[in-house]
Amino acid sequence: SETLFFEMADRLAEDGWRELGYKYINIDDCWAAKQRDAMGRLVPDPQRFPRGIKALADYVHARGLKLGIYGDLGTFTCGGYPGTTLDLVEQDAQTFAEWGVDMLKLDGCYSSGEEQAEGYPEMARALNATGHPIIYSCSWPAYQGGLPPKVNYTILAEVCNLWRNYDDIQDSWDSVLSILDWFSENQDVLQPAAGPGHWNDPDMLIIGNFGLSYEQSRSQMALWTVMAAPLLMSADLRTISPSAKEILQNPLMIKINQDPLGIQGRRIVKEKSLIEVFLRPLSKAASALVFFSRRTDMPFRYTTSLAKLHFPEDAVYEVQDVYSGKIISVLKTEDSFSVVINPSGVVMWYVYPTVLPAQPWHVVRQQAPG
């Protein structure tokens, strides 16, 4: 009910989330009444949202936050509530704008591929026409299998601000791994599509729920950050554990996730030892490195060098461990180093040059690492 959203807004505003950039409170499916009103407009369920969505938006805005809502391009939403058919796109966009909604997730249940191809761009136009800025999250590619030729990422990036490419996340480590695998295996297609204002969305963070261990929670946070994913939490902030909160509120992690270049990272190494390395280029010639262990037996000592990870020669770096805060002050490209990675865990580094190489890093960065 609306009480949940009022209380969650208070938590975001008062517990340090808002200042880190967690500003959107998003209502998912099943908020609406089962029937539209006499004018054909969407209305919130009168029992669960007695004050209406506008009052909720006002409350959220008064706390320096923004409100998101859910819609579905089809005859019904996935939960069986009124959908937005093509003839209602403009009207529903106007309704959301009048309520003061700041973000729309538009699902695709009960619609055909043809209707989606027409309706998703039409909703983008309709939202823009309201004059009220609304972030637009599309489920369009997820319904088309997520890959070319069915999905045209050039068009998608012009239509939507973020989009769901793949399966819904479940509260389990298997689900996190299946999403990570799909994104890594298809990174040549997905990675170039992301950038400021248009993002791949691997779905929510499940940190603070029930399915992940402490190490797995740290891993999801690091991997989603290196993939430049929108960070949307799904936990109850009224009862969240201190350890989950610490992971989600790591300020260096947030800084890396929100890097202004907006380049999505890639998996650059996949070892027989079940260690994988991910690299995300950042502004000011910095990088984020994630060393990830799929092992389930014991901590693993992984030895490599920045040279082996395709960093330019003759550079000197300072490294900060994102989780421990420890700093390595002089690391040359050719120097060997070791990291100890816990089972299902990560070591994440923020790497920034103190001596720049002869060859500009931005030239190296544009090449797909090996």
Chain centroid to CA 195: 12
Tell me which amino acid residue 319 is.
V
Catalytic residue among 72, 92, 102, 107: 107
Distances (CA, A) of 52 to 100, 132, 277: 11, 19, 47
β-strand pairing of 66-72 with 24-26: parallel
The DSSP code sequence of 8-38 is HHHHHHHTTHHHHT--EEE--SS-B-SS--T
The DSSP code sequence of 316-347 is EEEEEETTT--EEEEEETT-EEEEEE-TT-EE
40, 43, 47, 53 alpha-carbon torsion, rounded to 10°: -170
72 classed as catalytic: no
Strand partners, 177: none
Here the tokens at position 83 are 């959908």
Catalytic residue among 168, 181, 236, 335: 168
168 classed as catalytic: yes
Give the catalytic positions in this structure.
Answer: 107, 168
